[in-house]
Structure 1
Amino acid sequence: MKATTAVLACLLTAATLSGCVSTRAERGAVIGGVSGAAVGAIAGGSVGGAAIGGAAGAVAGYVIGKNTKPCWRTNIFGQRYKGWCIG
């Protein structure tokens, strides 16, 4: 229960902080960093695990955020919607 509460608090913090930055890459880095830190702390049970998870999450979030763009996609029912594509 304590781990779930910590993860939810970190995700809420990430969502709040992501509104303070201007680009998708920056938002991805903030969300990835906070999420990675939460997962690293839970999995490793230490500050070191949180630091490594946060760094890895920030890098991954930045790369994914920088390389995504809006595009039109089609769901399994043939309806088109605006989504995000990597590339």
Structure 2
Amino acid sequence: MLRIPCPFCGPRDHSEFSYLGDASLRRPAEEAPLEAWFDYVYLRDNPRGRFREYWHHAQGCRQWLVVERDTLSHEIFGAESARGAAAAGESAE
């Protein structure tokens, strides 16, 4: 069973959360060429190993989190508020 350590609610089952995706993507500038926007919206890597992801605690506190998870073993190394991660410059807006 995958349990996500919500910093607001404590450890919760993953079924309470919605997965969004890669937390390391950077949104292109408004004036960026169409190719940059296409890549941002449609192209994604499928990494193996440790990866930072966005999760939304939809059935709990409704906060967005950045969760560090191993995509092979599903081991979770930690979670933090997405707002806090963005303020520290660690994830996309």
Whether the TM-score (by the shorter chain) exceeds 0.5 is: no
TM norm structure 1: 0.24
Report 1 or 2 for greater relative contact order, CA contacts < 8 Å, sequence distance ≥ 6. Answer: 2
Q: Which has the higher strand share?
A: 2
TM norm structure 2: 0.24
Q: Which has the higher helix share?
A: 1
Larger radius of gyration: 1
